[in-house]
Amino acid sequence: MRLLLNNIKDTNKFGQKLAQISKSDDIFCLKGNLGSGKTTIARAFINSLTKNTKILSPTFPMLITYEYKNNIIWHYDMYRLKNSIDVWNLSFEDALNKGIILIEWPEIIEHLIPNKKIDIILNDLSNNRRSVEINGEIEILQQFEGFKKI
């Protein structure tokens, strides 16, 4: 399914909707070029569940966790990861066993991610407009009825 996000507000709304429909063992792989909206979606997602307004990008630490209710959100950024095997040093096994996982730049570890993952592929169009392609479970795709399809 491909959707059109007309502006930053739509991008935030998409991240919030993704959070609302997420389950405790979901894995979201956020793909796209620099500046395509991956971190914006992750921040809206995390804020929606935790009400935390100070959400940092994990580009340098590569992992930041957020607790909410009896769960954890694992926010990874693999942009600087040089070797896929090093992801195991970032508590990836723990993440796979408990919580919701958001991964920006997941390509280097894609072969280690379970097939149940949901790919969110962003393409920058112009004037803060983006297309977003969602590949995953049919149940998730049906939840985005209010967004403009491409």
pLDDT at 142 over 80: no
pLDDT of residue 138: 66
pLDDT of residue 13: 95
HSE, side-chain direction, 13 A CA sphere, residue 13: 15
Where in the chain are the domains? 2-149
Average pLDDT, the chain: 92
pLDDT at 33 over 90: yes
**Distant-in-sequence, close-in-space partners of 16: CB < 8 Å, separation ≥ 6:** 44, 45, 47, 48
Structure-token pair, residue 129: 């407009």
The CATH homologous superfamily for domain 2-149 is P-loop containing nucleotide triphosphate hydrolases (3.40.50.300)
Give pTM, 2 decimals. 0.92
Q: pLDDT of 82-111, one tens digit each?
A: 999 999 999 999 999 999 999 999 999 999
Tell me the mean pLDDT in the region 39-46: 96
Closest CA to 4 of 101, 137, 133: 133
